[in-house]
Amino acid sequence: MAYEVLARKWRPQQFADVVGQDHVTQTLQNAIKANRIAHAYLFVGPRGTGKTSMARLFAKALNCATGPTVTPCGTCDSCREITSGTSMDVLEIDGASNNGVEQVRELRDNVKFAPTHGQYKIYIIDEVHMLSPGAFNALLKTLEEPPAHVKFFFATTEVHKVLPTIVSRCQRFDLRRIPTALIIERLNLIAAEEKITLDSDAALAIARGAEGGLRDAESAMDQLIAFRGDTITEADVLSVFGLVSRETLETLATAVLKGDVGQIVRIIADLDAGGKDMQRLVLELLDHFRALLVYECAPEASATLDVMASQLESLKKQAELAQPDRLIRIAEALSMAEDRMRYALSRRTLVETALIRCAKATTVSVDELLKRLDSIRQSLGVAATPLAPDVPSRQADAAREAAPRSPPPSAPVRAPLPVASREPAPVSSSNELQLLTEKWRDHIVERVKRTVALAGAVLMDAKPLAVEATRVVIGFDPEFGKVGIEKMKIPQYHKAVQGVLGQFLKRTVNVEFKLIETQGQTDVPADHTIEREGSPAGAKVHSKTRQDWQQVPVVNKTLEFFNGSIIDIRE
């Protein structure tokens, strides 16, 4: 007798034999018991999850000699013919090779004939999404109103390619990927019946490689039996299918979390020398870090993870090495690497680069940054300053709440104040420069921003130097001013600044831009002091340049710590 592969030998013969699809089997059994059997069914799901097996089992339940029944006998002529694929009443059609209009027309002409032995004439069309649009359209009317003795069972892995008009005429069942634990349980059952010694780690490796498809797992086990005989170990599975052991995968993930680049490179070199699939490695790492992220962010949801108990212990240890923000960045880097893998000339180089980037990926929260800044201030002997001086402290809030409240004193009724005009009051020529300087940022720059946003941003590093009857001179810092002057040559920028200054000064003016003199300048004395509005007569307030601020210890230390630079100074 010819050898029968495990995937066919162990195909489900009863609804109870179906693994991991209880939501489908329960619905079909209830439909049979209630005699509510539809004329068309669509089974959707990944490969190897039981779509065609479910269709055959349903057909057997309908055409069994004792049926329709939820427990087909398996011994009558109809059951045996359906199992062997020779039934005249159950026709299996491959949608990939019979996808033309002529084949569908032939099917449409044959549906009017009554079944030979069973109660129903059943058409099982596998990979139905391969039918052409013309074939689908030819099937529409027959599918919607078939004869009472005809049933259609469709199976597909790509339901989005099936016309919506076809889907709407069917009862749809979505089959899920089978959990790893159920695949392992099934493999152990098959191994016991076939007198095969299957190592637990080997069963886990096979289940990992199957990616939720029981048929793939059974086919892999069949191949391993031919390779190793009656005893199968994890090393056999890894060598045949190019997989990475769970221990190696966890070691590599730990090295990434610890930032151990040397160990990462050594592990990748060993895996590449052993012929391991680099793309599959990236996918398994991505799945591992996804499980780690779920475990750390929602430990109560760990039961939903498709992992074994031993893997949960590993996730518990690794969760102490990284924060969720970093795990998200690692997952994003691995996802980008997997997307580029198909175009990479050297997959090893791409994997190494991605993992080194993941190892070096660090994220620091705002609270951690504030703690580090406070530690820098304390090391330099500088008192910590509050983030927002205008926000009262908690102690002040508490004291204010505890203080007895008294009614506010009555105030005499005053005449309403006149509403201030939005436009500035006219100014004399003697104080135009001073007023323009005071209103520069809050009025001039803001109005330019509303006109041309980029022009206003450039003016943040500038200030007025001189105001004449028909001319206004704007100065830029000598360190970065050349870039600003070049940008102000753009007609749109220049026109916006000139228009705002003309409205402010109540006359038409020309605007000139120049670099501020570093020595001998008249707008700011050499000691970098200027008089400020509201200060006592003769009082001076220091206005430091970028170079002066860089000499301040706390500023210099902060710039070195963050590898930053001073962009703007506001006092």
Q: For residue 431, what are its two tokens?
A: 């104080």
Q: Could you write out the DSSP letters of every residue in 355-373?
A: HHHHHH-----HHHHHHHH
Model confidence band, residue 536 (pLDDT cutoffs 50, 70, 90): very low
In the prediction, which pLDDT does 389 show?
Answer: 41
Are the CB atoms for 44 and 177 separated by under 8 Å? no
Cβ neighbours around 427 below 10 Å, total = 16
The crossing angle, in degrees rounded to 10, of helices 347-360 and 324-341 is: 170
Q: Which pLDDT score, from 0 to 100, does residue 362 have?
A: 61
- Residue 381 pLDDT exceeds 70: no
Confidence class of residue 301 from pLDDT cuts 50, 70 and 90? low
Euclidean distance between CA atoms 531 and 537, whole angstroms: 9
Label residues 479-490 b or e (16+ Cβ within 10 Å = b).
eebeebbebbee
* Contact yes or no for 175/43 (Cβ under 8 A): yes
Give 68 or 482, the one with higher predicted confidence.
68
pLDDT computed for residue 522 by the predictor: 42
**What's residue 367's pLDDT?**
60
| Token pair belonging to 205 | 């490796």
Instruction: For the chain, give every domain's residue range.
Output: 6-174, 180-184+191-241, 244-360, 432-529
Average pLDDT in the 328-354 region?
Answer: 86
Report whether pLDDT(424) > 50: no
Q: What is the mean pLDDT of the chain?
A: 79
Q: Flag whether pLDDT at 521 surpasses 60.
A: no
pLDDT band at 364 (very low <50, low <70, confident <90, very high): low
Does pLDDT of 551 surpass 90? no
Mean pLDDT along residues 410-415: 45
Of all residues in the chain, the percent with pLDDT exceeding 70 is 80
Question: Which of 72-76, 116-120, 142-146, 305-309 is predicted with the least confidence, judged by mean pLDDT?
Answer: 305-309
Kindly indicate the confidence band of residue 387, based on its pLDDT and cuts at 50, 70 and 90: very low
Cα torsion through 60, 66, 70, 73, rounded to 10 = -70
Domain 244-360 has CATH 3.40.50.1100: no
Residue 267, C-beta contacts closer than 8 angstroms, at least 6 positions apart: 248, 251, 252, 255
Q: Does domain 180-184+191-241 have CATH number 1.10.8.60?
A: yes
CATH number of 6-174: 3.40.50.300
pLDDT at 410: 47
Q: Where is pLDDT greater, at 176 or 481? A: 176
Q: At residue 426, does pLDDT exceed 70?
A: no
What pLDDT does residue 154 have?
93
Residue 156 has a pLDDT of 92
* Of 560 and 533, the one with more pLDDT: 560
- Is a pLDDT exceeding 80 seen at residue 108? yes
Please choose, from the candidates 514, 408, 500, the residue with its C-alpha nearest in 3D space to the C-alpha of residue 464: 514
pLDDT, tens digit, 9 for 90 and up, residues 115-159: 888 889 999 999 899 888 888 888 888 888 888 899 999 999 999
pLDDT over 90 (residue 383) = no
Is the model's pLDDT at 417 over the cut of 50?
A: no
- 523 confidence band (pLDDT: 50, 70, 90): very low
pLDDT band at residue 392 using 50, 70 and 90 as cut-offs: very low
Ranked by mean pLDDT, which of 184-188, 493-497, 563-567 comes out on top?
A: 184-188
Q: How far apart are CA 488 and CA 450, in angstroms?
A: 16
Express as a percent the part of the chain with pLDDT over 90: 13
- Which has more pLDDT, 253 or 299? 253
The CA distance from 361 to 340, in Å, is 19
CB neighbour class for 415 (10 Å; exposed up to 12, middle 13-18, buried from 19)? exposed
Q: Alpha-carbon distance 163 to 132, whole Å? A: 10
Query: Which tens digits make up the pLDDT trace of 11-59?
Result: 998 899 899 899 999 999 999 999 999 999 999 999 888 899 999 999 9
Query: 43 with 72: CB under 8 angstroms?
Result: no
Report the pLDDT value the prediction gives residue 316, as an integer from 0 to 100: 79
Phi, psi of 386 (to 5 degrees): -65, 155
Query: Quick one: pLDDT band at residue 302, thresholds 50, 70, 90?
Result: low
473, 464 in Cβ contact below 8 A?
yes
CATH of 432-529, one of 3.30.565.10, 3.40.50.460, 1.20.1250.20, 3.30.300.180: 3.30.300.180
Mean pLDDT on 317-330 = 82
Q: In angstroms, rounded to a whole number, what is the distance separating the alpha carbons of residues 377 and 366?
A: 17
Determine the angle formed by the axes of helices 200-210 and 214-228, rounding to 10 degrees: 130
pLDDT band with cut points at 50, 70 and 90 for residue 570:
low
